[in-house]
A = this chain, B = another copy of it.
Amino acid sequence: MADSELPTRPKPEEAKEAAPAEGGESKNASKNALKKAAKEKAKAEKAAARAAQEKAQAAAAEANDTAKDLYGPIPETEDVIPITRFSELSEEYYEKEVTVVARVDNARVQSAKLAFLMLRQQGQKVQAVIAAAEPISRQMIKYTGGLNVNSIVQVTGIVKKPEIPISSATISHLELHIRKVYLISEAAQMLPMQVKDAERPPPTEAEEGQVDAEGAPIVTLKTRLDNRVLDLQTETSQAITWISSGVAQLFSEYMIKSGSRWIFTPKLVSAATEGGSNVFEVKYFKRNAYLAQSPQLYKQMCIAGDMENVFEIAPVFRAEESNTHRHLTEFAGLDFEKTFQSHYHEVLEFAENLLVFILTQLKERYAAQIAIIQKSYPKAGDFKLPKDGKALRLNYMDGVALLKEAGVDMSEQERFENDFTTAMEKQLGGIIREKYDTDFYVLDKFPMAVRPFYTKADPKDSRFSNSYDFFMRGEEIMSGAQRINDFKELEESMRAKGLDPTQEGFEDYLNAFRQGCPPHAGGGLGMNRIVMFFLGLPNVRLATLFPRDPQRLRP
A residues within 8 Å of B by Cβ? 19, 76-81, 83, 101, 103, 121-123, 148, 150-152, 184-188, 191-192, 227-233, 237-238, 241-242, 244-245, 248-249, 252, 256, 261-270, 280-285, 287, 289, 291, 298, 301-302, 304-308, 313-315, 317, 319, 321, 329-330, 332, 341-343, 459, 485-488, 508-509, 511-519, 527, 544-546, 548, 550, 553-555
- Known A-B contacts A304-B229, A319-B285; the reply to A80 vs B516 at CB < 8 A is no
**Contact present for B80 and A329 (CB under 8 Å):** no
- Known A-B contacts A261-B242, A264-B527, A545-B263; the reply to A514 vs B319 at CB < 8 A is no
A250 to chain B, nearest CB (A): 10
**Contact present for A229 and B285 (CB under 8 Å):** no
A368 to chain B, nearest CB (A): 14
- State the oligomeric state as a number of copies: 2
Identity of the chain B residue whose Cβ is nearest the Cβ of A291 in the assembled complex:
B282
Q: Which residues of B contact A245 (CB under 8 A)?
A: 261-263
Expressed in whole angstroms, the Cα–Cα distance for A544 and B264 within the complex equals: 8
**Contact present for B283 and A321 (CB under 8 Å):** no
Q: Which residues of B contact A486 (CB under 8 A)?
A: 185
**Contact present for A545 and B282 (CB under 8 Å):** no
- Neighbour of A546 across the interface among B266, B515, B554, CB < 8 A: B266
Q: Which 9 A-B pairs rank lowest in CB-CB distance, beginning with the nearest?
A: A232-B305, A508-B555, A187-B516, A245-B262, A270-B553, A264-B332, A245-B261, A281-B283, A185-B516
**Contact present for B545 and A228 (CB under 8 Å):** no
**Contact present for B270 and A229 (CB under 8 Å):** no
- Known A-B contacts A184-B518, A233-B305, A488-B19; the reply to A508 vs B330 at CB < 8 A is no
**Contact present for A516 and B150 (CB under 8 Å):** yes
- Neighbour of A268 across the interface among B83, B227, B548, CB < 8 A: B548
- Neighbour of A244 across the interface among B188, B264, B313, B508, CB < 8 A: B264
Expressed in whole angstroms, the Cα–Cα distance for A227 and B263 within the complex equals: 18
Expressed in whole angstroms, the Cα–Cα distance for A221 and B58 within the complex equals: 72
Expressed in whole angstroms, the Cα–Cα distance for A518 and B228 within the complex equals: 17
Q: Which residues of B contact A282 (CB under 8 A)?
A: 280-283, 291
- Neighbour of A229 across the interface among B231, B515, B545, CB < 8 A: B515
- Known A-B contacts A228-B305, A263-B241, A305-B233; the reply to A185 vs B485 at CB < 8 A is yes
Expressed in whole angstroms, the Cα–Cα distance for A231 and B546 within the complex equals: 38
**Contact present for B122 and A308 (CB under 8 Å):** yes
- Neighbour of A554 across the interface among B270, B319, B512, B554, CB < 8 A: B270
Q: Which residues of B contact A249 (CB under 8 A)?
A: 252, 256, 262
25 A-B interface contacts by CB (under 8 A): A80-B342, A185-B517, A186-B516, A187-B515, A188-B514, A191-B515, A228-B301, A228-B305, A229-B512, A231-B305, A232-B305, A238-B306, A241-B307, A244-B262, A244-B263, A252-B252, A266-B548, A267-B317, A268-B317, A268-B330, A268-B553, A282-B291, A287-B553, A298-B545, A508-B555
Expressed in whole angstroms, the Cα–Cα distance for A47 and B289 within the complex equals: 42
Expressed in whole angstroms, the Cα–Cα distance for A514 and B282 within the complex equals: 33
